Structure 1
C-alpha cells in the first residue's frame, strides 16, 4: 500500500495541457470530491465549498480572468475551491451546529464555543482575516483531491493565478458567504510528463531527537 501511495505521488504533477476529448466518469469525480469532503479542518468547521464546472461556455468565460491559462478550458472538470466566510462567525449559528454534531453536555459545548471565540478573536474580526484563515485550510482539501485523483490516474493542476474579484463576479458569488481560494482543473494529460524533480529527503527533513 505504501508503494501504491508513493507511485500516486510520483504520478501527480501540475498538468499544463489536458486532453479535451477524455472526460472523467461521474464515479471517479465523486471519489475525488469525497477526498475533499473528508479532509480535516480547523475546529472541524469545514469552511469550504466546491463548485464543479463542466459547462464549456462558462469555462471559456472564466479563462481570461485566469491569466488565459489553457487548463481552464481543456480540463474535463473545473473545481472552484471556495473558502467559507459567514459560516465560521459565531453569530451565524453554524459554529454551534458544527460542535453540536458530537453529543456532549451543555457545559462542554459552551466551553468549546468560548474557546473558539477567544482563540479566533483576531481572525474573526474581519472578512479579510477570515478569508486568510479559511482559504489556508482549503489547501488541505485541495491536496487530498489531487492525491486521490493521481491514485486513480487522473491529472490536476492547482491554479492560484487568477483575478479573484473577476472570477467571483463571473460566478455571481455572495462574497460575504464564500470567496474563491483556488481553481483546480482535473482531467487527463495530453503529453508525457518529464521526471518529477524534488529536493532530496535530507534537504527537507530534519529529525530532532
Structure 2
C-alpha cells in the first residue's frame, strides 16, 4: 500500500495544460470531492465550500482574471475553493451546531464554546483575520483532493494567481459568507509535461533526538 500511495505522490505535479478532449467521470469527480469533504479542520468547523464548474463559457469568463492561465479553460472540472467567514463567528450559531454534532453535556459544550471564543479572539475580530485562518484550513482539503485525484490517475494544479475580488464578482459571491481561497483545476495531462522537482529528503527533514 505504501508503494501505491508513493506512486500517486510521484505522479502528481502542477499540470500546466490539460487535454480538453478528456473529461472526468461523475464517479471519479465525486471521489475527489469526497477526499476534500472528509478532510480535517481546526475545531472541526469545516469552514469551506467547493464550487464545481464545467460550464465552458463561465470558465472562459474567469480565465482573464486568473492571469490568463490555460489550465482554467483546458481542465475538465474547475473547482473554486471557498473559505468560510460567517459560519466561524460565534454569533452565527454555526459554531455551536458543529460542536453539538458530538453528544456532550451542557457544561462540556459551554467549555468548548468558551475555549473557541477565547483562543480565537483575535482571529474572530475581523473578516480579514477570519479569512486568513479559514483559508489555511482549506489547504488541508485541497491537498487531500489533489492526492486523491493522483491516486486514480487524474491531474490537478493549485492556482493562487487570480484577482480575488474580480473572481468573486463574476461568481456573484456573498463575501460576508464565503471568499475565494484557491482555484483548483482537474483533468488529464497533455504531454509533454514538466518534471516534478523536489529538494532532497535530508534537506527537508531533520530528526531531533
For the criterion TM > 0.5, the same-fold answer is yes
Paired position in structure 2 for 1:90: 90
Q: Distance in 2 between matches of 1:150 and 1:17?
A: 16
Q: How many residues align?
A: 209
SS at match of 2:9: helix
Structure 1 consecutive aligned stretches of length 4 or more whose deviation exceeds 6 Å: none
Q: Distance in 2 between matches of 1:140 and 1:61?
A: 28
- Could you list the per-position Cα deviations for residues 16-45 of structure 1 after superposition, in whole angstroms to 9, with x for gaps in the alignment? 110000000000000000000000000000
Q: CA deviation at 1:195?
A: 3.5
Q: Give the 5 Å matches for 1:23-172.
A: 23-172=23-172
SS at match of 2:34: helix
| Pairing 1:8–2:8 present | yes
Q: Distance in 2 between matches of 1:173 and 1:199?
A: 39
Q: Distance in 1 between matches of 2:183 and 2:195?
A: 25
| Structure 2: segments with no counterpart, 5+ residues | none
SS at match of 1:186: strand
Q: CA deviation at 1:197?
A: 1.5
TM-score norm. by structure 2 comes to 0.99
Q: Distance in 2 between matches of 1:195 and 1:173?
A: 36
The answer to whether the 8 A contact 2:16-2:193 is kept is no
| Structure 1: segments with no counterpart, 5+ residues | none
Q: Distance in 2 between matches of 1:64 and 1:144?
A: 28
Q: Distance in 1 between matches of 2:42 and 2:147?
A: 21
Paired position in structure 1 for 2:186: 186
SS at match of 1:6: helix
SS at match of 1:18: coil
- Could you list the per-position Cα deviations for residues 82-118 of structure 1 after superposition, in whole angstroms to 9, with x for gaps in the alignment? 0000000000000000000000000000000000000
Paired position in structure 2 for 1:196: 196
Q: Distance in 1 between matches of 2:7 and 2:67?
A: 31
CA RMSD in angstroms, aligned pairs only:
0.6
- Could you list the per-position Cα deviations for residues 28-86 of structure 1 after superposition, in whole angstroms to 9, with x for gaps in the alignment? 00000000000000000000000000000000000000000000000000000000000
TM-score norm. by structure 1 comes to 0.99
Q: Which stretch shifts more, 64-73 or 186-195?
A: 186-195
Q: Which stretch shifts more, 184-193 or 111-120?
A: 184-193
